[in-house]
């Protein structure tokens, strides 16, 4: 991961929530929320909350919870998330680094994180923090994307960017969001953080969009891939977006499009 991989600023948060969330995040947020709610937690910590898609799915499912703290390192994403959520006194919004959580030991029944651990500069440290703040018997529930080849729109956008800049192809998608799919490594790093029980389930969903351009805009404009593209040329963002749109249209047609998305859901216990 590079430093720019975690820069979600400018118009990225709004585009992310408008385009990317319904495209690839909503169905997995519902899945993660159901898994966390099934634990009947009284206190929940969400890390790397992004634009708040899990918060919106989970809050109605844990109405009996006494405490729900939602955190993200990026203040722009956190402000966007809190603005999209109906005000609830039991939800506390707090800017926080998942690697240095500002909470006491044994504070939460559950810690959840949707597609965030790939952005941790030190995942073992992030996992150790999640374990530290978990109460005895608590659970750490999170998900990671499977390899980019199992996520069809992302692969086409990645290839379009590489074709546009063959001498210096942008690698953000393959490197970071879709680069942490080796389950042996995930389990090893969790055990290094002193989690003793690790279970994994692979979930496949279908990503749907009203047009081929929708996923192209979502992934080119609503992620830090945009930062990489803009560093390579003044008109690069438009060129890559157009190429990705054409590639998606060739594969799936010019109208509504649907492609496979796949992720791993991990539940870890001390």
- Residue 263 domain boundaries: 3-269
The reported pLDDT for the residue numbered 5 is: 39
Give me the phi and psi of 267, to 5 degrees please.
Answer: -120, 120
The residues with which 112 forms a beta bridge, in sequence order, are 46, 141
Contact 172, 223 (CB under 8 A): yes
Q: Is the dihedral of CA 197, 270, 203, 213 positive or negative?
A: negative
DSSP 148-166: GGGSHHHHHHHHHHHHHST
Query: Would you state the structure tokens that stand for residue 190, as one six-digit string?
Result: 């969790």
pLDDT, one tens digit per residue, over 40-49 is 999 999 999 9
pLDDT value at position 11? 52
Question: Using one digit for the tens of pLDDT, what is the confidence trace for 235-269?
Answer: 999 999 999 999 999 999 999 999 999 999 999 99
Number of domains in the chain: 1
Spatial separation of the C-alpha atoms in residues 218 and 19, rounded to whole Å: 5
Residue pair 44/36 in contact by the 8 Å Cβ criterion: yes
Tokens of 48: 């790397």
Residue 4 predicted with pLDDT over 80: no
Query: What CATH number does residue 101 fall under?
Result: 3.40.50.150
In 3D, which of 24, 14, 90, 81 has the Cα closest to residue 48?
81
Nearest to 195 by CA among 142, 104, 128: 128
pLDDT at 88 over 90: no
């Amino acid at each position: 991961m590079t430093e720019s991989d975690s820069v979600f600023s400018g118009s990225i948060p709004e585009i992310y929530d408008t385009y990317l969330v319904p495209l690839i995040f909503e169905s997995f947020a519902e899945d993660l929320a159901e898994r966390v709610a099934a634990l009947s937690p009284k206190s929940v910590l969400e890390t790397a909350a992004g634009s708040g898609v899990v918060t919106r799915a989970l809050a109605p499912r844990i109405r009996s919870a006494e405490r729900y703290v939602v955190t993200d390192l990026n203040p722009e994403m956190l402000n966007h998330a809190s603005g999209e959520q109906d005000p609830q006194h039991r939800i506390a919004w707090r800017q926080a680094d998942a690697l240095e959580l500002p909470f006491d030991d044994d504070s939460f029944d559950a810690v959840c994180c949707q597609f965030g651990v790939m952005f941790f500069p030190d995942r073992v440290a992030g996992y150790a923090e999640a374990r530290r703040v978990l109460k005895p018997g608590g659970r750490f529930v999170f998900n990671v994307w499977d390899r980019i080849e199992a996520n069809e729109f992302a692969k086409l956008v990645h290839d379009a960017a590489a074709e546009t800049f063959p001498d210096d192809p942008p690698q953000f998608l393959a490197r970071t969001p879709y680069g942490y799919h080796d389950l042996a490594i995930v389990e090893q790093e969790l055990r290094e953080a002193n989690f003793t029980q690790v279970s994994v389930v692979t979930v496949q969903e279908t990503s749907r969009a009203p047009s081929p351009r929708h996923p192209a805009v979502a992934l080119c404009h609503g992620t830090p891939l945009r930062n990489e593209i803009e560093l390579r040329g003044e008109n690069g963002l438009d060129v890559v977006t157009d190429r990705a749109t054409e590639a998606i249209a060739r594969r799936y047609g010019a109208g509504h499009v649907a492609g496979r998305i796949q992720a791993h859901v991990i539940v870890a216990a001390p």
